[in-house]
Amino acid sequence: MAAAQTTQKSAPRLADVMGALQARHSKLWTAAQQRNWELASYQLELVKAGLADAIGLYNDIPVSNVTMIDGPLKSLDSAIAARSSAAFGKAFGELTTGCNSCHQSTGRGFIVMKIPTASPFGNQSFAPRSGQNQDGTRR
């Protein structure tokens, strides 16, 4: 019986899924601040995947709480495609507000997201790659 239990995969804790989303939230912001739109696009896709995981793994999260950030996610897509820092900042603020609204509505209002002021990822460069302009085009 113990062998059967160890071979079963269990879902990660919601806190772990959200912790990964928090890191991606920060990386998304930092990439956009450095105008590394390719990295920002990648991080946004990871944010979307993490939210989909949360909905799929935890049926006690009201889907409406997560779908209320569909608008900001689409706005972020558009801002990244347009390489618009101003539009990105607005959409990122809306995303962050949506995260906090979800936390509030699920009794986790003590978890408050904010726009990052510095990157905690000192081991990663967020600058565009060599040979890539800040607008994402190749030189």
Tokens matching residue 120: 């905690």
Tokens matching residue 62: 């009201």
Q: How far is CA 59 from CA 47, 55, 87, 92, in A?
A: 19, 7, 33, 26
**Tens digit of each residue's pLDDT (9 = 90 or more) over 17-58:** 999 999 999 999 999 999 999 999 999 999 999 988 888 887
What predicted TM-score, i.e. pTM, was given to this entire model? 0.82
Count of residues for the chain?
A: 139
